[in-house]
Structure 1
């Protein structure tokens, strides 16, 4: 698979049941401004994941290719294991009640993504592919694939999704990416 497709699929799967998806649900119930919520998610993700993909690409160039392959492979496998640990929803939106939907979404998404699984995955994808634009756009599309339906369908969608099974699929995908990196 190419950088874009891999980025879309891995981040969309990793995002299912993630704290930022739960944050999307909370914001969608608080603000009736779907366009502003989507715009906030897009811009926060582009900034965060753009920097993350750049960092991954930069760090990936610091080491010899065989060392980078081992580091990236091991990291993909660790993210796969991390995906099996459920996220906890953090009630942080109360302090942002005075902001409009876009501002609250942009700030909360930017903060929630720091050190998050999808941010770590983006760093790894940047290190693996060295295609910052395709990784950034792909991970942003992946975030939208997972979060836009939540804005429109909300709780009923999250209740019906087999979150545990999707986490297992995402974990297997990341572990598989780790092995694929080693065999390259």
Structure 2
């Protein structure tokens, strides 16, 4: 349950102001059909984060406990710094309209999520907790918590969310996880 809750919270916070959330705003404004956009986000996130969690599980199984502790601890601290860098959306991600709303969203989100903060976080969380299903479920829920309101209410809430504060909170959580991991808080997980 801890893996699920931490994964949900971290990704929900990390996603606010992220390029994929900006893409959700863009797709919602362009197509004005929220249901296929939300379904596209959901499917793209599950596929992308399942792949990321598999990489995290592989990393966890491949590295020894001490090396893994240092890689994850420093990785979480690097994620904290990365959270403070603002994202921009690549409008080419939304130029797939000939495929329809659902497929455009699925393809654009999957591609935009490759190497994104939340995908990297999913790799690290899966390695940290050593269990893919709760991490993927949590990161997917976190993505949906951040993006569904963006799709349905984007124009009304976009300017009301203090992005620097949200990113600061997410960065602090990543930093705490990094320090705790380096100090051995993950010993019960084998590192």
Normalising by structure 2, report the TM-score. 0.93
Kindly provide the CA deviation profile for residues 56-115 of structure 1, in whole angstroms up to 9, marking residues without a partner as x: 111111111111011101000001100101011211145312221100000000000010
Residue of structure 2 equivalent to 1:102: 102
Q: Distance in 2 between matches of 1:103 and 1:181?
A: 39
Kindly provide the CA deviation profile for residues 127-169 of structure 1, in whole angstroms up to 9, marking residues without a partner as x: 0011101100100000000000011111221100000110000
Q: Secondary structure at the match of 1:88?
A: coil
8 Å CA contact 2:26, 2:94 repeated in 1: no
Residue of structure 1 equivalent to 2:18: 18
Q: Distance in 2 between matches of 1:103 and 1:52?
A: 21
Residue of structure 2 equivalent to 1:121: 121
Q: Secondary structure at the match of 1:159?
A: coil
Q: Distance in 2 between matches of 1:89 and 1:12?
A: 18
Q: 1:41 to 1:70 in 2, by over 3 A?
A: same
- Correspondence list, 1:34-183, <5 A: 34-93=34-93, 95-183=95-183
Unaligned runs of 5+ in 1: none
Q: Distance in 2 between matches of 1:6 and 1:98?
A: 38
Normalising by structure 1, report the TM-score. 0.97
Q: Secondary structure at the match of 2:32?
A: coil
Q: Distance in 1 between matches of 2:14 and 2:93?
A: 22
Q: Distance in 2 between matches of 1:137 and 1:94?
A: 26
Unaligned runs of 5+ in 2: 186-191
8 Å CA contact 2:53, 2:132 repeated in 1: yes
Q: 1:146 to 1:94 in 2, by over 3 A?
A: closer
4+ aligned runs moved over 3 Å, structure 1 = none
Kindly provide the CA deviation profile for residues 34-72 of structure 1, in whole angstroms up to 9, marking residues without a partner as x: 111111011100000001011111111111111101110
Aligned residues: 184
Q: Secondary structure at the match of 2:99?
A: coil
